[in-house]
Amino acid sequence: MPSSQILLLELDATSGEVISTTLTGVGFAVETVTDSAEAVRRAGDFSLVIIDQTDPAKSPADVCREIRATPELAPVPVLCIGQTEDVEERIRFLEAGADDVVAKPFDQRELEARVEALLLRFQRSRALAPMAASDGGMVHRVRRTVVAYSPKGGSGTTTVAVNVAVAHAAGRPGRVLIVDLDLQFGQVATLLNLTPKQTIADLVRDEQSQREPELLKTYVSHHESGLEVLAAPGSPELADLVTEASVGRILETALLAYDAVVVDAGAHLDARTMAALDAADTILIPVYPEIAALKAVQALLDFVNETGSISAKTTFVLNNVFAKQILKMRDVENGLGAKVDCTLPYDAFLYHKAANEGNPVVRGAAQSAAAVALVQLAATAFGETVGQADGGRERRGRGLSGLLKRT
Ligand SMILES: Nc1ncnc2c1ncn2[C@@H]1O[C@H](COP(=O)(O)OP(=O)(O)OP(=O)(O)O)[C@@H](O)[C@H]1O
Ligand SMILES: [Mg+2]
């Protein structure tokens, strides 16, 4: 259960009671203050500040602006309660720096959900806080959630995810997790020659473990490379147990439990996939050189870019799954409408052997051109390549989840 401390700035006792009861009812600790100066002064001691009604001398937006003008309070999210559904009021709050706004009258479950989402979001961004670069002064963001997804099955998504994860886990035993979100027929465990005792289908039945890093770890299998594996359900009928919300929670908590998370998001697009794409710092899209595959990627980009660009965090991987190339790189890039960032060579035998032996190419054939390309891809995906920490393309995208109906 959540135990975060919430500070509520509230002049109206009745309204305060409703908010406080709602949140304490789901396990949050809420402290109410009436004085806005006190709220600003003490905000740093709380996980979240909620501003409802304030003394007329200082409007809620003013208090919010004051909190946001204090650099030390940057890690504390602020939720403002709108007194009406008036758009102007909402905009005023957002302009004042509110991280979210809930308008009255609100459903109690909405308030709970917004609070929970804000806490998770800020918990995560604290975990991803900028790191000082060793060359002094410069800071860059560490990229830690890498999601492999392709709208076309058979593009090499699982191959890419598994090899990138194993490559990144080298020298980081127990600190990298791969999550198999190809929920119906995911084969990450097979490619690693593992027989998992527990899978994501077990984890989704245990909500507490979806929130607590140490408990989440009890659901993973260990690979000899040091990689940890949260396997896909053992049977397709269990796939439906996994919801969009549980995917969000699991990926958030996984980031607290591990230094890095790699996701095989398969080839199916639904709200759960969107939640994974939303959580990603880097999206790897393997594509094979065929017009239909390129068109599928274009359709994907057109679709998701309606709500929030993923282009800024996408790395296109041209996977040569065919022995003979018909399309040239120029055709592929024209078809994609984007630059290919990485090319994986054709090597049917190596991949075939790796899959059958359950030993990924980066381990079983470490000197091969395929392995070298995959190791390089892992470095790029995690922003380790010199000058590519953000690929020069970091843009702020809006949320993607919610675009598809909940599952
Ligand atoms: N560069 C390559 N050269 C030759 N064969 C490859 C290459 N990349 C992947 N393959 C082979 O293509 C097949 C599909 O790969 P993989 O399972 O990784 O794709 P996927 O996109 O995850 O597929 P699915 O949609 O079924 O989950 C596998 O048999 C794999 O060994
Ligand atoms: Mg696959």
Where residue 61 sits, what CATH number does that domain have? 3.40.50.2300
Q: Does residue 114 lie within any of the structural domains?
A: yes
Last residue of a domain, one of 129, 159, 182: 129
Minimum-distance ligand 1 atom for the alpha carbon of 345: 1
Cβ(157) – ligand 1 distance below 6 Å: yes
The CA distance from 90 to 95, in Å, is 9
Q: In this structure, what DSSP letter does residue 311 have? A: G
- With respect to residue 389, please indicate whether it lies within any of the assigned structural domains: no
* Angle at alpha carbon of residue 325, lines to 321 and 326, rounded to 5°: 125
pLDDT score, position 36:
95
- The CATH number that applies at residue 319 is 3.40.50.300
Pair of tokens at residue 405: 């109906």
Do residue 197 and residue 335 come from a single domain? Answer: yes
Sequential pLDDT tens for the chain (407 residues): 345 689 999 999 999 999 999 999 888 889 999 999 999 999 988 889 999 999 888 999 999 999 999 988 888 899 999 999 888 999 999 999 999 999 999 999 999 988 988 887 777 555 555 443 344 443 344 569 999 999 999 999 999 999 999 999 998 999 999 999 999 999 999 999 999 999 999 999 999 999 999 999 999 999 999 999 999 999 999 999 999 999 999 999 999 999 999 999 999 999 999 999 999 999 999 999 999 999 999 899 888 877 566 777 899 999 999 998 889 999 999 888 888 999 999 999 999 999 999 999 999 999 999 999 999 999 999 987 433 333 333 333 334 554 454 33
> Within this chain, do residues 346 and 220 fall inside the same structural domain, yes or no?
yes
Q: How many domains does the chain have?
A: 2
**Structural domain contains residue 393:** no
Name 327's Cβ contacts closer than 8 Å, sequence gap at least 6. 289, 290, 291, 335
CB of 148 closer than 8 Å to CB of 200: no
Cα(162) to centroid of ligand 2, in Å?
Answer: 10
**Residue 231 C-alpha to ligand 1 middle, in angstroms?**
18
Task: Report the chain's C-alpha Rg in angstroms.
Answer: 23
Which residue, of 72, 96, 129, is where some domain finishes?
129
Cα separation values, 186 from 145, 228, 283, Å: 19, 16, 18
pLDDT value of position 118? 86
Probe residue for ligand 1, chosen from 149, 321, 349 as the CB with the greatest number of ligand atoms within 8 Å: 321
Report the candidate in 219, 199, 201 with the shortest Cα–Cα distance to residue 209.
219
Same domain, yes or no: 314 and 203 = yes
pLDDT in the model for residue 117: 84
CA angle 289, 280, 70 (to 5 degrees): 145
Residue 85: the pLDDT is 87
Give the Cβ contact number of residue 320 at 10 Å.
16
Instruction: Identify whether the C-beta of residue 339 lies closer than 8 Å to the C-beta of residue 333.
Output: yes
Q: Quick check: is 388 in a domain?
A: no
Contact 381, 251 (CB under 8 A): no
Instruction: Write the CB contacts of 404 (distance below 8 Å, at least 6 apart in sequence).
Output: 269, 270, 271, 274
Cα(29) to ligand 2 centroid in Å equals 43
**Residue carrying structure tokens 């359900």:** 233
For residue 282, is it within any domain? yes
Q: Are residues 119 and 261 in the same domain?
A: no
Range of the domain at 15: 5-129
Ligand number with the minimum distance to the CA of 346? 1
Same-domain status, 191 and 125:
no
Whether 217 and 77 map to the same domain: the answer is no
Res 388: pLDDT: 36
Distance 281 CA to ligand 1 centre (A): 23
Boundary residue ending a domain (100, 129, 158): 129
Residue 47, phi then psi, degrees to nearest 5: -85, -20
Q: Is 266 in the pocket of ligand 1 (CB under 6 A)?
A: yes
Residues 122 and 148 in one domain: no
State if residue 182 touches ligand 1 by the CB under 6 angstroms criterion.
yes
Indicate the pTM of the whole model. Answer: 0.68
178 in the same domain as 113: no
Residue type, position 316, single letter: F
Looking at the structure, tell me whether residues 311 and 370 fall in a common domain.
yes
